């Protein structure tokens, strides 16, 4: 029986595995974002060799301590098939070290195309099989159905873009529908329905920026995880989390990239930075 299987042989839901990982390793998600400027800061070339060295260093330094890694697929895809090979290796090695892998690919499409995206990242036979995937619902929440179904089948999770930290997102997410609800509130309501009755935590989460201030006008109690980018370089701090997320703060998965990665390539520096931020988050959320 693997760590992802229940006694009955069915996959253990992502939400249950995430809750356990956050309770034992601390509530922190570390992004793996090997963009060109960060490779340069580490003294690495902006090529596949630099990409591989960067990624391997992060996974080896933090794979046995952080709850979640969030590789940004675009920074690997820009190198073509060789970059994807680095990503495939990182996914396998991160999971072997006990970390969950949330693939930040923000896929969204309809029909067979969405099903293919889902199979790429949530299919058990895929070399990029991940514990969870970020998805965009802006072709309609129903367009995500192939990913929702495959996630349930394989014990995976989804993080749906709902209230993102980028200012441009407001023109879509805050738009008001004919029934008077915002688009973002509609997405949150869909997720709450997906997670109904799940224990200890649902597997279908929302992306909600930690920089957005008081969100009490929104029902964030979706019984699922809330991925919170924006801590560090974008200006938010762990102390802001209770104000932003209110009673749902215990289900927040704070995502930090540069705040940890800028302390590399020294492995001890990466570990110290991640541990410090995780401790600050734990203190803030109680």
In sequence order, the 6+-apart residues with CB closer than 8 A to the CB of 166 are: 209
- Rounded distance, CA 249 to CA 43, Å? 38
- Residue 231 in contact with residue 237, Cβ under 8 Å? yes
Q: Which residues are catalytic?
A: 106
Core vs surface per residue 87-122: b (16+ CB within 10 A) or e: beebbebbbeeebbbbbbbbbbbeeeebbebbbbbb
- The three-state secondary structure class of 222 is coil
Q: Which of 118, 83, 60 is nearest to 270 (CA)?
A: 60
Q: Alpha-carbon distance 85 to 92, whole Å?
A: 11
| Nearest Cα to Cα of residue 213 among 275, 156, 170 | 170
Task: List the alpha helices (DSSP H) in 156-203.
Answer: 170-173, 183-194
Task: DSSP letter for 129, please.
Answer: -
């Amino acid at each position: 029986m693997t760590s992802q299987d229940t006694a009955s042989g069915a996959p253990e839901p992502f939400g249950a595995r995430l809750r356990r990982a956050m309770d034992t390793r601390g509530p922190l998600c570390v992004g793996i974002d090997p963009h060109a400027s960060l490779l340069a800061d580490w003294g690495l070339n902006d090529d596949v060799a630099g990409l591989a060295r960067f990624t391997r260093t992060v996974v080896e330094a933090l794979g046995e301590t952080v709850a979640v890694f969030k590789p940004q697929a675009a920074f690997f895809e820009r190198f073509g098939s060789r970059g994807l090979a680095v990503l495939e290796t990182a996914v396998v090695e991160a999971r072997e070290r006990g970390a969950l892998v949330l693939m930040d690919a923000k896929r969204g499409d309809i029909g067979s195309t969405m099903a293919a995206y889902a199979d790429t990242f949530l299919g058990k036979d895929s070399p990029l099989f991940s514990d969870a995937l970020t998805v965009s619902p802006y072709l309609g929440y129903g367009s995500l159905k192939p990913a929702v179904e495959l996630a349930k089948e394989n014990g995976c999770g989804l993080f749906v873009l709902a209230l993102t930290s980028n200012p441009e997102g407001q023109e879509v997410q805050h738009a008001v529908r004919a029934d008077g609800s915002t688009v973002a509130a509609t997405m949150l309501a869909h997720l709450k329905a997906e997670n109904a009755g799940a224990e200890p935590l649902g597997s279908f989460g929302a992306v909600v920026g930690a920089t957005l201030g008081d969100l009490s006008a929104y029902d964030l109690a979706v019984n699922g995880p809330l991925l919170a980018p924006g801590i560090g370089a974008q200006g938010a701090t762990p102390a802001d989390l209770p104000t932003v997320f209110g009673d749902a703060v215990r289900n927040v998965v704070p995502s930090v990239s540069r705040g940890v990665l800028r302390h590399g390539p020294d492995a001890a520096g990466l570990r110290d930075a991640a541990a410090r931020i995780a401790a600050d988050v734990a203190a803030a959320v109680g």
